[in-house]
Amino acid sequence: MAKKAALLVSALILIGAYALFFGGEDDFPSGGFCGRDMPDPYYLDLKPADVQNPDDVIRYSSSIKGYAEDLDVFERAAFYEWYFKSHGFDVSFAYAEKFADTENDHLWLLVRNRKGEVIEVDPSFSEVGGSSMVPLDRAYAVRDREFDDIYSAKEALGEDAVTWWRDEKACKVLNENVLVTEKERAQSMADA
């Protein structure tokens, strides 16, 4: 009986959280976990991915592609980094001041598999002349800096460069994933 009551309370909390966070489009950006300030906590502990090859990265990337279409190049890299890292990927940022011998700087991702191999991932490849989301272009071998996480990227590049959480579409993914995390946590507590 106590288990059923705990499950009912958990369900009511989730329904209330859903109503609060998704109360309508007019609530943006104050609704949910998005807005002007960086979400806290930033990274979520979601179901881990099993990344071994570029196909796995592309498969995971395809699920959020539509949410990132309004983001600029740096924001898009930060959004994908958040999503990947929240799913347990070993991911960092790569930065070049003059990408591909141009005057433009660029930010992309480095995903490491369990063997330590690096898979370069560029969510903005089409905007910068890359060949694919997982490019083999020589330009990606030249980078000036690497950033381990959003905090070091934000410090070096400035917060405004990576503020994907201010975009309404991208924010929906954050809010949905926060709800999933809370639901799983409530289920674990009910099962315990």
As a whole number, the mean pLDDT across the chain is 80
Question: What mean pLDDT comes out for the span 82-98?
Answer: 93
**What's the total number of domains in the chain?**
1
Does the pLDDT value for residue 184 go beyond 90?
A: no
CA-based nearest residue to 107, from 98, 119, 94: 94
* Residue 60 CA to its chain's centroid (Å): 11
- Domain that residue 13 falls in: 2-191
Backbone angles phi, psi at 108, to 5 degrees: -140, -175
Q: Output the pLDDT for position 17.
A: 43
Enter the pTM of the model: 0.78
* Tokens describing residue 64: 């959020």
- Pick from 3-7, 35-39, 174-178: least confident: 3-7
